[in-house]
């Protein structure tokens, strides 16, 4: 279909999927789905020095987790296979020869040392670093002789002089570049692999890509790509360059900025729906003040016209807030399934009903599965040693609470809500008997059981711990007090 919308996400397998790559993939997905088109995954592995084993599998695994599925890819195949650039080398060599025959590409023998010297000289004269076209005027005979002799060489594009390359960007409008500012870009490297620029154009054409949606950092390269389309006699796709992602200090976000790996957010317990919702709003805005969207709703709402030109700040606090909202909508079983894999093995070996009760009790306000898992772990942590000394009334009060709790029927300890009320009744009764009331009752018991001044509601903690652990905590607190008195 000539007018079919076809977009692509084309990562290099040089590491993990980062949030900038996720946004690019998501916007391509949303645009394609909104237009009834197709989304392709193409692996651009031509930089052989930076390949990371397992990176492609990581991409596919993370996208499966997010629910973003590709219509054509190395995994599912498709009519434009192969979808891995290292498997398409013959096509790039043919394209290079086509350009050379038309006078749009030439052989360059310059060494790395010479190119470094050229750049140094240009920097010394405050000139932009560009190739000086040293090899562009070599005769056909000299080129043939040196190539036949096995001299290392690359192929460069022959950028024409005194022309303006006009680009209509769907986000930024009309952008013009003078060819005097465009370098004679290397197209084919000495190792026989193409550069990004050649492979990108050749593949986008043969894969019938209608829209190239990518990061703003690729805008300066776009005139080179438009020239290549012109050299080949091909119709270029439409371009849309997304705004930069920024740190809170408005510096450019990069792989060195900290938590930018999508996998890291999965490991922390961020929900895929929350992450997609959050990332969708990094540069795009809906037509109203609404902030929460399912993936299907994003498809319905998304347009490139509402993508901003200005950079978008990646606000970790907002992501946590958004994830908290999504978590609050999960039922208890979904919450347990998310938290359980993050809990330490010894905790999972305890009474399952009590650990589940802990997850349910502590879930309000949790920012992620990892956050909730940490709260559960802290709830079951051993009591800290107290520094406060008790008088006789406090010791007798704690002993009375322990006696009162030990007298409760065993079945009562499995009725968590009822147990909480029974615990309060025992504590209040013993407080009245020993002259304690209000805050003094609960602070004394909290310090006895946890050694901490703050924490979850004590009645719920008792339900989490169970009879034996609760009584042990109270008895150990009294033993510590007795030991301290003996030493004194």
Q: Which residues are catalytic?
A: 255
Reference 355, options 366, 341, 365, 111; nearest CA is: 341
> Three-state SS across 72-90?
EECCCECCCCCCEHHHCHH
Reference 5, options 31, 23, 27, 42; nearest CA is: 31
CA torsion angle for 22, 25, 27, 29 (degrees, to 10)? Answer: -130
> Secondary structure of the chain: what % helix, strand, coil (to 5)?
50, 10, 35
Phi/psi at 210 (5° precision): -95, -30
Give me the sign of the Cα torsion angle 60, 61, 64, 68. Answer: negative
Give me the sign of the Cα torsion angle 169, 60, 328, 375. Answer: negative
Q: How many CA atoms lie within 13 A of 209 on its CB side?
A: 29
Q: Cα–Cα distance between 237 and 203 in angstroms, integer?
A: 12
Provide CB contacts within 8 A for 128, sequence distance 6+: 122, 181
Place of tokens 């290099």: 12
Q: Cα–Cα distance between 39 and 45 in angstroms, integer?
A: 19
Two tokens, residue 264:
């890291």
Q: Reduced to 3 states, what is the DSSP secondary structure of residue 103?
A: coil
Two tokens, residue 289:
């003040």
Provide CB contacts within 8 A for 290, sequence distance 6+: none
Rounded CA Rg of the chain: 33
476 and 398 Cβ atoms separated by less than 8 Å: no
Q: Cα–Cα distance between 448 and 150 in angstroms, integer?
A: 82
DSSP secondary-structure letter at 54? T
Reference 257, options 318, 215, 314; nearest CA is: 314
Q: Cα–Cα distance between 135 and 291 in angstroms, integer?
A: 56
CA 178, chain centre distance (Å): 37
434 and 396 Cβ atoms separated by less than 8 Å: yes
């Amino acid at each position: 279909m000539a007018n079919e919308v076809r977009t692509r996400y084309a990562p290099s397998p040089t590491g993990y999927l980062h949030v900038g790559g996720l946004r690019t993939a998501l916007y391509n997905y949303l645009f394609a789905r909104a237009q009834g088109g197709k989304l392709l995954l193409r692996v651009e592995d031509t930089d052989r020095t930076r390949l990371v084993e397992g990176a492609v599998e990581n991409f596919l695994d993370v996208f499966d987790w997010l629910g973003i599925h590709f219509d054509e890819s190395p995994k599912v195949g498709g009519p434009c296979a192969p979808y891995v650039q290292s498997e398409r080398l013959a096509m790039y060599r043919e394209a290079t020869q086509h350009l050379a025959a038309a006078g749009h590409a030439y052989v360059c023998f310059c060494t790395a040392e010479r190119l470094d010297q050229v750049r140094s000289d240009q920097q010394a004269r405050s000139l932009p670093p560009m190739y000086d076209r040293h090899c562009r005027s070599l005769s056909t005979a000299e080129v043939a002789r040196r190539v036949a002799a096995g001299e290392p060489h690359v192929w460069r594009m022959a950028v024409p002089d005194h022309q303006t390359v006009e680009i209509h960007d769907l986000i930024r409008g009309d952008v013009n570049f003078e060819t005097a500012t465009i370098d004679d870009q290397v197209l084919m490297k000495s190792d026989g692999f193409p550069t990004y620029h050649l492979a990108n154009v050749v593949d986008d054409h043969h894969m019938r890509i209608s829209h190239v949606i990518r990061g703003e950092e690729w805008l300066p390269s776009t005139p080179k790509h438009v020239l290549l389309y012109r050299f080949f006699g091909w119709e270029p796709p439409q371009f849309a360059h997304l705004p930069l992602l920024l740190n809170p200090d408005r510096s450019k976000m990069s792989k060195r900025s900290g938590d930018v790996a999508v996998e890291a957010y999965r490991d922390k317990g961020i929900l895929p729906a929350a992450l997609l919702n959050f990332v969708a709003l990094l540069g795009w805005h809906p037509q109203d003040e609404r902030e929460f969207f399912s993936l299907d709703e994003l498809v319905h709402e998304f347009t490139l016209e509402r993508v901003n030109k200005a950079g978008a700040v990646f606000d970790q606090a907002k992501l946590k807030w958004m994830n908290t909202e999504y978590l609050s909508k999960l039922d208890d079983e979904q919450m347990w399934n998310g938290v359980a894999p993050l809990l330490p093995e010894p905790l999972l070996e305890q009474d399952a009903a009590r650990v589940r009760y802990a997850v349910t009790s502590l879930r309000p306000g949790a920012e992620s599965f990892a956050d909730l898992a940490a709260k559960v772990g802290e709830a079951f942590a051993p009591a800290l040693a107290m520094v406060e000394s008790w008088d006789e009334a406090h010791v007798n009060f704690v002993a009375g609470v322990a006696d009162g709790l030990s007298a409760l029927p065993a079945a009562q300890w499995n009725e968590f809500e009822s147990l909480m009320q029974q615990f309060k009744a025992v504590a209040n009764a013993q407080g009245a008997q020993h002259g304690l009331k209000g805050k003094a009752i609960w602070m004394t018991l909290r310090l006895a059981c946890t050694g901490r001044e703050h924490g979850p509601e004590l009645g719920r903690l008792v339900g989490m711990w169970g009879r034996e652990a609760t009584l042990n905590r109270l008895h150990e607190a009294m033993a510590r007090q007795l030991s301290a008195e003996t030493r004194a």
